[in-house]
């Protein structure tokens, strides 16, 4: 098997992943819509195909690769989001189109800018195929990037996806300067919502306390480098969502994720009060201060 891989997506995340693979001597080919090459040509004789595109681009990429991927090639999804049309996760979309291929989910507390700067970090690679997860662990592991394997790809993927909605709330909290007490309460109750919907999806409870759950939540909700955090922070400053997005570099997946989560939560009666208020805030139905008042004035209840 070759030591070459293909990374789909030339943004900050795709570039960071490419840099990590080079440390171990792998030869990454980075493909983007504007590179001038046909995508199927770039995956020939590749040990792994790593998709680092935004959620809106996943189905288009899959369509281009229909009939081109060999069954032994490992497909790695590094996208955090939910498909607005089907409500499926990226891994589910890939698996539907390539049922014979091993699918690996890569997710964790990974800010691309810090990784490109060579700062230490850790992540999780999860798959139903242990050999595929181990191979991707080998490709990415280095003294500055610790990679753990996991056998709960659904839990890992949902944890990394849902936390983007909570990150918008966290940015709002900081934008309103509500303090550490409020922020800690928000993150703790946000984690409860992640676990609630994650278990509905079939994720294992322990996954949500690991790197792809609590770890990713803490990073995304506390860093101005997070685009989802920036959205919430901007809304708290009184900007409209249109104004916030005009200044944003890249895609804030939490916006679309929130819309899909609301549909799923409503349909299955899953209690997600923070996500509901984030959705109303994004739609301009309430202001950031009104969202906080609504959150704090809910009925009294037991913590568990």
pLDDT 10s digit of each residue in the chain, 304 long?
Answer: 468 999 999 999 999 999 999 998 898 999 999 888 999 999 999 999 999 999 999 999 999 999 999 999 999 999 999 999 999 999 999 999 999 999 999 999 999 999 999 999 999 999 999 999 999 999 999 999 999 999 999 999 999 999 999 999 999 999 999 999 999 999 999 999 999 999 999 999 999 999 999 999 999 999 999 999 999 999 999 999 999 999 998 899 999 999 999 999 999 999 999 999 999 999 999 999 999 888 888 777 777 7
What pairs with residue 51 in β-bridges? 8, 77
CATH among 3.40.50.360, 1.10.645.10, 1.10.1040.10, 3.40.50.1000 for 154-296: 1.10.1040.10
Task: Indicate which residue of 163, 204, 259, 301 is catalytic.
Answer: 163
Q: Which residue, 40, 64, 6, 84, is CA-closest to 251?
A: 84
- Top-level CATH class of 4-151? alpha beta
Virtual torsion, Cα 297, 192, 228, 143, nearest 10 deg: 150
Helices (H), 66-111: 90-97
- How far is it, in rounded angstroms, from Cα 105 to Cα 150? 9
User: For residue 248, what are the CA distances in angstroms to 17, 244, 273?
Assistant: 22, 6, 26
CATH 1.10.1040.10 in the chain is located at: 154-296
Q: How far apart are the first and last CA of the chain?
A: 51
Global pTM?
0.94
* Distance set, CA 147 to CA 112, 120, 206 (Å): 15, 11, 17
| Span(s) in the chain for CATH 3.40.50.720 | 4-151
135 tagged catalytic: no
**Phi and psi (nearest 5°) for 184?**
-65, -40
């Amino acid at each position: 098997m070759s030591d070459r891989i293909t990374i789909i997506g030339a943004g900050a995340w795709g570039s960071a992943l490419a840099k990590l693979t080079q440390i171990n001597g792998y030869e990454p080919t980075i493909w983007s819509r504007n590179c001038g090459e046909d995508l199927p040509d770039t995956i020939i004789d590749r040990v792994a195909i790593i998709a680092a595109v935004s959620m809106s681009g996943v189905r288009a990429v899959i369509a281009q690769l229909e009939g081109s991927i060999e069954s032994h090639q490992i497909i790695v999804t590094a996208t955090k989001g939910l498909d607005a049309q089907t409500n499926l996760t990226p891994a589910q979309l890939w698996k539907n189109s390539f049922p014979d291929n091993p699918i690996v989910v890569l997710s964790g507390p990974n800010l691309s800018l810090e990784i490109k700067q060579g700062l230490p970090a850790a992540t999780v690679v999860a798959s139903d195929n242990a050999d595929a997860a181990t191979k991707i662990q080998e490709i990415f592991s280095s003294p500055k990037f610790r990679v753990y394997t996991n056998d709960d790809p659904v839990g890992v993927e949902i944890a990394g996806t849902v936390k983007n909605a909570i990150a918008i709330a966290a940015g709002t909290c900081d934008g309103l300067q509500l303090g550490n007490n409020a922020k800690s309460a928000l993150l703790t109750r946000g984690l409860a919502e992640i676990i609630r919907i994650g278990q509905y999806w079939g994720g294992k409870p322990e996954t949500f306390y690991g790197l792809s759950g609590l770890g990713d939540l803490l990073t995304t909700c506390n860093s101005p480098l997070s685009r989802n955090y920036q959205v919430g922070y901007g809304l708290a400053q009184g900007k409209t969502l249109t104004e916030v997005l005009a200044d944003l570099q890249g895609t804030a997946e939490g916006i679309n994720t929130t819309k899909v989560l609301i549909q799923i939560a409503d349909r299955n009666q899953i209690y997600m009060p923070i996500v509901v208020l984030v959705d109303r805030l994004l739609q301009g139905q309430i202001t950031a201060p009104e969202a906080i008042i609504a959150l704090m004035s809910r009925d009294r209840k037991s913590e568990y």
